[in-house]
Structure 1
Amino acid sequence: MKNLLLSATMLVASAGVAFGDTYRPECFVPAPETSTISYDAKDGPYKLAFVNGFAGNDWRIQAIQSAKAWAARPENAGKVDTFSIVSVGNDSAAQIAAIDNFIAAGYDAITFIAVNPTAFEPVIRRAERAGTILVPFDNVLDTDKVVQVNESQKELGALKAQTVMDILGGNAKKVLMVNGLPGNATDRDRRLGMMSVLEQVDGLEIVEVVGNWDTGTSQKVVGDALATHGEFDAVVSQHGSAGTINAMQSAGHPIVPMGVDGENGVRILMDELDIPGVSASQAPAMSAIALEAAVALLEGNELPQTIYLPIPQVKAEGLEAGVNYFPDLPKSFNTGTGFAECFAPFTPEEITGQDPDNT
């Protein structure tokens, strides 16, 4: 495999990484046609930061709690000198400024959920010059210069759409699509995945609304869509799906196949109402995998440039109280508490015991 030296500390290998060629491939699974990145090893303990953007929904809150739960585990605590978290809202300039502040303060690695996918090339160069490792996750960047942690968003969207179309036997007249926060790579790619399936259905009308990955917003826009467009044959929702289900119940809409997220309340409703379909999630515990990847890179290990984690999912018929949803926990709790391929998933108590505040 031919290697190209990019700097004194950073190495990228040619595309086409085979499973097993990199560090802990069962956890850090290479995406198709990705490259690899490694850095010179650095002694710990390390100064780490998580720069969150938007913080206005339960998923982001649990991502912060999951990151703190990771740092609190004994096997990680000894590797961490300082761990800081800041949320900056939907302003990419504010997020870049926060990253620059941590770079200037000598932080070894910074994880972040990018506000948009295109504005970070200059800060990537500044981080490289300073020897700071950047690991974006969830909303990732349009770049191949840093390791990124994600699930395949196109696959997640396609999974939901394909499941409902399979239940319908491939035939439908009208489907409601509840999208996420505009301007994010995650929203864009999930929609592309859904459309890759739905566009193949002859004569299908696709009604799209913007739910901002938020339960309250989704409930309002879905209620409006029902009032305007009447009944749908199926629904595919990125996140905030409890609001979607509540709106349909309030409108007296018949039960139809749904592709929904993995919030606890969503799975409770699916089971109670016998809603066919799939609950598949972008697990907020991905924040912990990004930190795990950052430490692996600081220790000199080689990782895929794009890491695709497995998609936590369960079909409606596989829902089981106390196993993949939890009636005694808040409805806003996300059932994606970890990835067993990387480390033991967090218990609900580990996550809920952490506060979601900046530190």
Structure 2
Amino acid sequence: MKRTVILSAVAATAMALAVTPQAFAEGKPYKIYLSNNFVGNDWRQQMERVAEVSVKKGPLAGRVDLKIENAEGTVQAQINSLNNIIRSKPDAILIDAASAEALNPTIKKACDAGIVVISFDQVVSEKCAYALESDWTRIPAVMAEWMAKQLNGKGKVFVDRGLAGAPISAQLENGYLEVLKKYPGIEVIGTYNGEYALGPEQAGVASLLAAHPEVDGILTQGYGSGAIKALQDAGRKVVPVTAFSYNVAATTCAQTEGAACILGSNPAYLSSEAIKLAVDILDGKPKPADRHILVNGDFLATNGGAWTSELYPKAVIQKIEIGKNAFPDRPPGLTLPITPDWVEITAEEAAG
């Protein structure tokens, strides 16, 4: 027998207050801090700008009182900053962390005080905090698969090893190699350290070109445009390139005759996603089943829409198009794509 239960307005309100934070119940915006351990590159600056835009428009407009605290680039400075933030009793703290482990006792203190804590980008291991980041297994796998398909399973390639000693560099390199091993006709004939900078990328590729009369593809961990410039300077044909979705990479790939590129994305709007997650949790919506949350940013490719990954069939691969997702009049270090799908952040707003 099915029963229908009707709550009075008073009872319904009382129940809502029992599960809803006081700030929301009183119509006040949530006080949310973003703790950033350093602001010394284009990605971090864009990350902060899109966070500020996200709370002024769309579903978060008027819902968040956002405060950004930049530490001085050391673990201890961020710990000191976090302790001050905790004393101000915010509703939530978002953290781009200086260390995966060292911040844990301070973060536990915040959790114990009833503060929602979300680490993002550079995440922490403390289990009371959510960890929101890009899927670093998926990104190199899709790009290496794209390269293998571009080469029809045969050819000689260079592989960027990133920054010596950086865990993410090793993860990306190993991700490339793991997929390429499935294609015995593809041979890695040279590696270099691109260091996530245009100069070292171009110099590393140029050095390998001098030693190898043939190369059929280049898998970078950085801009890709440095690799293309090295090919051009050496009088070589432009070969397929994997890179990351900086604006200079997208515009170079779109504007270079014969270029074939795929760009992986670690979107700067991870900060926006962290804010939205915090608001959803504070609003009493169902919490994520797992504390570790992977954000799947879109890929950009010169043949986007015409190629689908077999390894990750749900991966969205946008076609690189000037004015849509590549902007010659915007800074080269702008990270693409610019906006999540629940708010409209423009290239102008992201670039500041």
TM-score range, shorter chain: 0.7 to 0.9
- 2:40 corresponds to which of 33, 50, 56: 56
Name 1:10's counterpart in structure 2: none
Q: Within 5 Å, which residues of 2 pair with 1:211-226?
A: 211-226=194-209
> Once structures 1 and 2 are overlaid, which stretch shifts more, 111-120 or 127-136?
111-120
Structure 2 runs not aligned, ≥5 long? 1-18, 304-318
Retained in 2: the 8 A contact 1:282–1:312?
A: no
- 1:276 corresponds to which of 260, 274, 298: 260
- 1:303 corresponds to which of 266, 282, 288: 288
Tell me, what secondary structure is at the counterpart of 2:172?
Answer: helix
Distance apart, 1:60 and its partner CA: 1.8
Q: Within 5 Å, which residues of 2 pair with 1:1-359?
A: 41-43=21-23, 44-73=28-57, 75-89=59-73, 91-180=74-163, 182-184=165-167, 186-202=168-184, 204-205=187-188, 207-227=190-210, 232-273=215-256, 274-301=258-285, 302-304=287-289, 305-317=291-303, 318-340=319-341, 343-353=342-352
1:191 maps to a residue whose letter is E
1:303 maps to a residue whose letter is P
Retained in 2: the 8 A contact 1:163–1:277?
A: no
**Alpha-carbon RMSD:** 2.7
Partner Cα distance (2:125, 2:164) in 1: 17
Tell me, what secondary structure is at the counterpart of 1:204?
Answer: strand
Retained in 1: the 8 A contact 2:37–2:72?
A: yes
> Once structures 1 and 2 are overlaid, which stretch shifts more, 111-120 or 152-161?
111-120
Describe the shift of the 1:83–1:210 C-alpha distance in structure 2 as closer, same or farther (beyond 3 A): same
Describe the shift of the 1:85–1:124 C-alpha distance in structure 2 as closer, same or farther (beyond 3 A): closer
Partner Cα distance (2:112, 2:55) in 1: 27
Partner Cα distance (1:259, 1:136) in 2: 28
Describe the shift of the 1:105–1:183 C-alpha distance in structure 2 as closer, same or farther (beyond 3 A): farther
Describe the shift of the 1:250–1:349 C-alpha distance in structure 2 as closer, same or farther (beyond 3 A): same
Q: Deviations for 1:165-190, whole angstroms, at most 9, x for unmatched residues?
A: 11112223332225258445x44443
1:327 maps to a residue whose letter is P
Tell me, what secondary structure is at the counterpart of 1:50?
Answer: strand
Distance apart, 1:220 and its partner CA: 4.0
Tell me, what secondary structure is at the counterpart of 1:267?
Answer: helix
Bigger Rg over Cα? 2
Structure 1 runs not aligned, ≥5 long? 1-38, 354-359
Retained in 2: the 8 A contact 1:66–1:288?
A: yes
Distance apart, 1:284 and its partner CA: 0.7
Q: Deviations for 1:216-259, whole angstroms, at most 9, x for unmatched residues?
A: 44334444454566653322222333333333333334311111
1:236 maps to a residue whose letter is L
Partner Cα distance (1:115, 1:228) in 2: 39
Describe the shift of the 1:51–1:249 C-alpha distance in structure 2 as closer, same or farther (beyond 3 A): farther
Higher relative contact order (CA 8 A, sep 6+): 1
Distance apart, 1:106 and its partner CA: 2.1
Name 1:357's counterpart in structure 2: none
Partner Cα distance (2:169, 2:116) in 1: 26
Tell me, what secondary structure is at the counterpart of 1:55?
Answer: coil
Aligned length: 311
Describe the shift of the 1:61–1:178 C-alpha distance in structure 2 as closer, same or farther (beyond 3 A): farther
Retained in 1: the 8 A contact 2:36–2:71?
A: yes
